[in-house]
Structure 1
């Protein structure tokens, strides 16, 4: 058959959209590309991004990454990408907001993990006993000293 098959993915467009904008510091294009690539990888797990063309996902990822990494240059990125004749503005806005929401959720989850790892309880259910609370491990479960004494008093009555 001699067919040449290539899959077109958002990664195919990342360099193109970065080249549209003029960065103040040319060396900052690599961190921007890295963050956009990371966002695209995470978007692969979300079914809602199947409705968007790969070019729209790439453009949106570049916008989200530029808003994070270079907020002062974000308007410049936005203008350059929206001025591209191949970009559907409505789809770009929809995808941009969806990616931004995904990134914010990821951030909130990482903050929650950090809080739970620091030992600060996030809720009453996250509360753990510490050694200073005079706990006794009985049959694999933690029972505070006071409760153990009450249990012993009640068991002696029977």
Structure 2
């Protein structure tokens, strides 16, 4: 757990190096079972595109900043020969994101991604604590005050 906290901190420090990715969704379009399987999708894509290369890294999801945290999701894209980074899983209608490359060998990255597919970095502890408290007391957990 401490290792993933350290990794989330490192990713946060490098967020200025995040890259834009063209989201084509070419491999997953129309195939619901392929959504959320980016590592497999990239492997299949490469079977038919031998000049492309896999690129492993992290989606920088800043959509929760108002709650005091950001998340990094393990993700794979392709370096399309001559066309830059291309996401064959997520398409244009998916939320926009930036991508941080991971320098680990593929096997090491995929093992880490399997064990910790999402990393959370807290940027504002007070807002994050309030968010956590709200989640714990939400109706989803069956806790609410009743004044009958």
TM-score, structure 2 as length reference:
0.27
Q: TM-score, normalised by structure 1?
A: 0.26
- More helix by proportion, 1 or 2? 1
Higher strand content, 1 or 2? 2
